[in-house]
Structure 1
Amino acid sequence: MRNITQLNHVCFAFADETFASDMSQMHSTQPEVLILNLHTKDYLFPDWMKKMSLLKVLIITNYAFHPSELNNFELLDSLHNLKRIRLERIFVPSFRTLKNLRKLSLYMCTTTMAFGKGSVLISDTFPNLEELNIDYCKDLVVLPTSICDITPLKKLSVTNCHKLSSLPQDIGKLENLERLTLSSCTDLEVIPNSIGKLSNLTILEISNCISLSSLPEEFGNLCNLRNLYMAGCASCELPFSVVNLTNLKVITCDEETAASWEAFQPMLLNMKIEVPHVDVNLNWLH
């Protein structure tokens, strides 16, 4: 590997097409954080990574134009202290069981193999996951239904996935979910009725989900909802049940969406509507 640097408990490494996977100079290292910067279409995890018994965080960023494919991914099963994984511009493989993983972040990744039909149930792969972030994954059309069986999940963020058309009907099974972010999923048309079962949800973001035509009547059952972000949702019809959102403190939205909420303000005395001022910079035209 080229340009291997270790700073305290953090190890940085770079690999490209010209470099083989002989990394003998890293055999003795025991980092807690490993950052791999790739510029290759294929990368093989070396067997010596099994010896990184202290590894807690793995960050892999691919700087090539096309997603990089990871091979020998199953060796991560042996890293029992691994808590966080972040992948950027990666062809995500079918995951194996990572029982101790707490946070997974996928940015500009191809997820077909990991989330598609025939893949391992994500609830079996990450049974103790607490946070899942998926951003700019263009091939994501539906979330795997088994996500709903990851009961420890507290934060779920799916943003800028423009082909995402639906959420699992059983999303209400995520009884510990505290924050749900669905911003800029422009093809998302429906919020499942079961969302009303998310009794611990305090923050919901649906800004710029422009295809949402309405919120379900069960939306009013979100008894602990405190912050709602829904800018760019002027065409989204609100159910009358929102009058039951007595803990709702702040709604951040645009002027058109604010007009829909103003009708409910007399019944939601603690609710504040915030319309951020957006500066439009036209300097680029000159």
Structure 2
Amino acid sequence: MTETFCGKDCDLCQEKLSEACRGCKEGPGRRFGGDCPIAECCRDKYHANCDTCQEAMSCTKRQQKDQMPQIRIAEAAAKEEKEVQKREKAKVLGKWLWILFWLLIASLITGLLSQDSLSQVSPRIYFIGTVSGIAIKVIYCLILLQLRHVEEKYGKAGICSIISALLAVVVLLVVENSIALALIMLLVATAIGLAVDYFFFYGNAAVLEDFDLEFSEKWKKLWTWNLICIGGMTAGICLMFLGIIGAILVIVGGLGVFVIGIMQLVYLYRMAVLFKEYT
């Protein structure tokens, strides 16, 4: 009989030969997805075997000794399956997040080209910037909707992006007829824009949890700062009648949003690289 920690006769184990297991004493029982939990327990408590432990009679681990190889094989298979799923997820995310990264950069450029001040100076460039910006937003939304199969928050971000874009168009149509209505619609569009950011930031955090928990938390913190900065800008606009106080809030909030935008690009780039390297 091969000596074991739990008292099981290794020579009667059907898995010993098929898995080339040398047993927990010699092995030390690592053939089935890591060390045997019974063997680990005995080593940690410096017991030669389970019989010298006062908790042996009520130990649930020892009670599973006959099924332990099968349990550990099943756990190893589940772990391997999870790893396969992670690699598949990383493959998809590495592809689409990389595209989103470049789309965001392109969006910044088209944003500069579609400034109202440019419409008088160079109408052609303004037109190209505006049309390109719309096209980029459409592609951006479609990619987010595509990624909903990986993380549902991406899909919600895509839907909110579409709604926000439609509201922006409505604002342009009603601005000349009703400034008050346009202002209300603009506030609603801003709120939905915040929802887009929330779902996108937290979607990124969610997909990172299985890969890099610390990085995941950074996306959540970035959203918090984003909310603070936008809140500061909004408060500043509402307090513009106070003069310098409102102006300071708008400037500081705007700078904060700009910095967060840069951080978002950096984080998105790091994510794309992380997922590409994981595959």
Normalised by the shorter chain, which TM-score bucket? under 0.3
TM-score norm. by structure 2 comes to: 0.20
Please say which structure displays the higher CA radius of gyration: 2
The TM-score normalised by the length of structure 1 is 0.20
Relative to its length, the structure with more helix (as a share) is 2
Question: Which structure carries more strand by proportion?
Answer: 1
